[in-house]
Amino acid sequence: MRWCYDPRIAKKSLESFRIAVRQYELAFPGCISFVELGQRNGNCVGYPEVSSFYVKSSSGGCFVNGLLGEWPKVARNRWGRHALNLAPGGCDTVGVAIHELGHVLGMGHEQKRRDRDNSVRMNWSNIRESWKSQFTVADGYTSGRYDYDSIMHYPMYSGQVGLDRS
């Protein structure tokens, strides 16, 4: 996996990202390797001919946009530039960096598994409208038992409407 970073990235965001990279390398020795590239004009060197992702902290929130892989150029460019954003003040932790890197590697959210209703109860009336799509089921990796502790699982009360924790 090739990556580079925004020269204006917050120090903690970059540090957390580097630790997350190391965690994947330790967890999957020899399977995943990360190669750091330089950047030029807001893209990794070689973009778009060379697939890569751009790590930054300049937008709000924690997210990955774009999908990665050694895909045909037309598919790679469908989303524009591939970016992984770790905003300061909540998205710059090692846990969030590991979660977002999971998306880069193709992982979806655990709570969106098709078999999730066997394991969790959804209180739809307590979920903010803007968050509901985060809880609709979607195809993805579902082998193995439901993992409440997955790094790809949202916290129990995420997206809640009020303070009533139900």
DSSP per residue, 11-50: HHHHHHHHHHHHHHHHHSTTT---EE--EETTEETTTTTS
The SS3 call for residue 54 is strand
* 100 is a catalytic site residue: yes
Contact of 59 with 65, CB cutoff 8 Å: no
Q: What are phi and psi of 83, to 5 degrees?
A: -140, 145
Residue reference for tokens 């990360």: 34
Q: Which of 15, 36, 70, 100 is catalytic?
A: 100
- Which amino acid is it at 127? I
Active site positions, annotated: 100
